[in-house]
Structure 1
Amino acid sequence: MITWRKSSHSGGGNVGGQDCVEVADLTPDLPTTQWLKSSHSGGGGAGGQDCVEVADLTPVIAVRDSKDPDGTKLALDATAWRALAHQIKNGHHDLA
């Protein structure tokens, strides 16, 4: 279960006083999480590990850099994940 909390910098400037950002720590769920490496991973990175890994942390999809598994993770809902994957497959984010 993911627990969300409001930023300590939240203000009360909008309707209902809910002018805030919420954050969640995915770390507690990660030790037992199965990360899947992209089938399109290349060998160009350090040790041939030039890839992205994803994990199903329902209700979100987590994304991380396999070269830095303890680093920052990105969490996307299913709709955002599908949109990002579609854009990548169509070359919209090709940085090569």
Structure 2
Amino acid sequence: MSIYVGNLSYQVTEDDLKQAFAEYGKVSRVQLPTDRETGRLRGFAFVEMETEDQETAAIEALDGAEWMGRDLKVNKAKPREPRTSPRGNWGGSAGRSDRRY
């Protein structure tokens, strides 16, 4: 199970999150996604803790709490939905053939 932490400061570090969540149990993993193009943090993270009880305690304590100048949004992470490829013609001619006979 994983915890979603949103509305994070762009200056937050993995260590900052570990310290904040350590008060509620043992943090087993922190993931701070970055933008592919800029490398900049995206303003959210995922935190995994050893037990579900620890995760629940952290969510209850930190959801809505002010931290690093921001009001945190903390809840159970939802499973990532599989990406589907967009339908349609990537060629730009929307169903029309450009071939000449």
User: Structure 2 length as normaliser, TM-score?
Assistant: 0.29
Q: Larger Rg: 1 or 2?
A: 2
Higher relative contact order (CA 8 A, sep 6+): 2
Q: Which has the higher helix share?
A: 1
